[in-house]
Amino acid sequence: KILHYVDPIEVIIQFEHSARWPDDLVTIQKMKIAFYIRLVSQLELQFPGTCATVVTDNINTIISEAYMDILADSGFVFRCRIYNEREMTLLNRGIEDKMSSQLKKTTYTKALEREKRMFVEIPMHTLQIQTLCNKWPSLSLTIRLTKRWFSAHLLSDHVDEEWIECLSSQVYLEPSPWNRPGNGFVGFLRVLKLITSWNWDNEAMIVDLSEENRSTLKNNNKNKVEDIKIRFKNLRSSDGGCKYGLMFIGTASGSVWGIEKPSKVVANRIKDLAGSALLYADELIENGKNREFKRLFITPLSDYDVIIHLDPYQCTRYYQNIFVDTQYLSHKKKGDTIDEDNDIVMRDVITQDHVENEGKMVAMVGFDPVEYYLGELRKLYSDIALFFHDKHGGTVIGVVWVPINFTPKPWKASTEINSILVSKIESLKNQKGSHDGQNIILNAEA
């Protein structure tokens, strides 16, 4: 079978206001699941050929990850989630309750932030980006090129897509000192220029995605923008080393992106890569080598300490690779004899339950085994290494050791990393601290 990743389209279902929803968060999650099951039965009854399923997790939680997937005949998959405003009311009530424990308040605060991000901020952001793309059609191409550039350089997991969209929109909203980009590629180069020229350490980037806010800003109604600036100032005051939020972006509607990621190390790499890409683009333009621009999306692997190579046959998103090798898109493995009648490449997207022909494609809805593999690596080794990957069909994982683990330190029984005595490493024998027989560093060879 050909395993083919299908990216689900997020859909939010919101019912009319009703006082019949319960006052218990756990019960609300169970009611949502009941609605999903009812909707699935009605969809399959009214639209024959439509495949729908309900995916649940632990239902005894205040915020459930349950959703409903709908696979249409067209091949599109819609991932539907129910939004109920009462959940936020109950979460706020639990946070403000003086009888609540600190653990409960922390849990409710995280759940509230997640609900706001998923059901309020991201939908508003999507609507604003769509409006701007309708106004400036080339913005859409700029966003896609920029996202692909980040992914091609193995940075897709280290930045939010919304952060990239804000960054791309800024070169259209505030194009000075140039004119607004006339095509998507020019916009992409402007984004790279913005990355390298903005004073990320000392200035918050405020992006006005909703242009209707411009008039209110001129009338000194700047509450949300001022709140964002204060938040940025407080962040820098409490984190002088810019460990978090180095590439801070706020919007006039009050959303903030870039707090948790990219990290300082990744942010510095982004700026270095953007600077190098601009120099290379200038060289290509001067020499008239327009066909070489694709090389902007080739990342150097020499900077990584370890390279993990993946089997393209097991990468469900390999078909999205920029430099895809078509031999891996066949259900026949390399070296096998190919039967032209059965060799179906990238045609039918079907679900596991409907597989009738071994040559047809099996849709893996939202399932990327590489993503889960990366999740396991980060869960086990996040203290000693950073992992980088191109989610759009990349076949390598870049690994960079955390430098602090190579600083000699005394051995302790509680040491959790695979370590080696410094005295056993010839290249470190003259390093400070190497003469202490109990000093250790990370055993990278292991």
Q: Is the peptide bond before 300 cis (omega within 30 degrees of 0)?
A: no
pLDDT (mean) for 162-179: 93
Reply yes or no on whether the pLDDT at 212 is more than 60.
no
pLDDT in tens, 85-136: 999 999 999 999 888 899 999 999 999 999 999 999 999 999 999 999 999 9
Q: How far apart are CA 345 and CA 70, in angstroms?
A: 23
pLDDT (mean) for 152-167: 94
Q: Is the peptide bond before 262 cis (omega within 30 degrees of 0)?
A: yes
**DSSP one-letter code for 155:** B
Identity of residue 117: R
pLDDT (mean) for 269-280: 94
- The angle at the Cα of 265, spanning 261 to 268, to the nearest 5 degrees, equals 95
Q: What is the pLDDT of residue 50?
A: 82
pLDDT (mean) for 214-219: 50
Q: How confident is the model at residue 413 (pLDDT cuts 50, 70, 90)?
A: low
Q: How far apart are CA 42 and CA 52, in angstroms?
A: 10
Instruction: Report the predicted TM-score, pTM, of the whole model to 2 decimal places.
Output: 0.84
pLDDT (mean) for 21-38: 92
Q: How far apart are CA 236 and CA 400, in angstroms?
A: 26
Query: Which secondary structure element, helix H or strand E, spans residue 384, and what is its range?
Result: none
Q: How far apart are CA 183 and CA 333, in angstroms?
A: 41
Give the number of C-alpha atoms closer than 13 A to the C-alpha of residue 154, restricted to the C-beta side: 23
DSSP-based three-state secondary structure for 73: coil
Lookup: tokens for 438: 């109990």
Q: What is the DSSP string of 330-356?
A: SSSPTTSPP-TTT---S--EE-GGG--
Q: Give the number of other Cβ atoms within 10 Å of residue 295's Cβ.
A: 12
Lookup: tokens for 347: 């045609």
Q: How confident is the model at residue 288 (pLDDT cuts 50, 70, 90)?
A: confident
Q: How confident is the model at residue 356 (pLDDT cuts 50, 70, 90)?
A: very low
pLDDT in tens, 61-82: 888 889 999 988 887 899 999 9
Distance of CA 49 to the CA centre of its chain: 32
| Dihedral angle sign, alpha carbons of residues 178, 181, 185, 188 | positive
